[in-house]
A and B are shown apart, each in its own frame.
Chain A
Amino acid sequence: GQNIDQPTEMTATEGAIVQINCTYQTSGFNGLFWYQQHAGEAPTFLSYNVLDGLEEKGRFSSFLSRSKGYSYLLLKELQMKDSASYLCAVMDSNYQLIWGAGTKLIIKP
């Protein structure tokens, strides 16, 4: 079966760096997405990786290793507004998105 695994919850301190991991097993691969979802709100797009390596976008970076079925989202200089759930999703060979359950990130002052 197809599966996406990410930690349920993480806690970090304001100003610090946090890495949220995502491992996947899917039928084929057409890219990996990260979305941010604040409580009670809609998910919003953060990043898309289809090639191995690191993509940097401001304070957020996303890494992909296709051979390991692994990605991470790196958040630097954490701010209180980064408290949210972070959703990992993989697009399989049929262009279906498989979603992880999300990682709730709690930022403490």
Chain B
Amino acid sequence: EAQVTQNPRYLITVTGKKLTVTCSQNMNHEYMSWYRQDPGLGLRQIYYSMNVEVTDKGDVPEGYKVSRKEKRNFPLILESPSPNQTSLYFCASSFSREPYEQYFGPGTRLTVT
């Protein structure tokens, strides 16, 4: 089954404790992206990757890191989480950066206290 998986689905952590949210896709997609979704706001892109070892900042990259060492995986790293990073996070992938449908992971609800 074609899918994007994310782990964990739910995470409660404390300020400053490093965490990683994993993302994996099995569709051989070149383009992967991380979004955060907050009430009343549209999806905001954090980082994206057009292929292995190619990553770039989105609209809200501060406080986040990513890597793309393999085509299927695109982890999101919060080196020192803060309460304003409490949000719902989605990983997404598509065939390429051009106008193709994006496939979203199930989401990770992160709470930073």
Contact = CB atoms under 8 A, between A and B. Distances in A.
Contact of A99 (B43, B97, B98, B103): B43
Interface of chain B: mostly helix, strand, loop or mixed: loop
B101 interface: yes
B104 A50 contact: no
Contacts of B97: 95
**Is the interface on chain A under 10, 10 to 19, 20 to 34, or 35 or more residues?**
20 to 34
Given A42-B90, A42-B104, A44-B104, A100 B99 contact: no
Contact of B44 (A42, A44, A99): A99
Interface of B: 40-45, 58, 90, 97-99, 101-107
Interface of A: 4, 8, 30-31, 33, 40-45, 48, 50, 87, 89, 91, 95-102
5 contacts: A30-B99, A41-B106, A41-B107, A45-B101, A101-B41
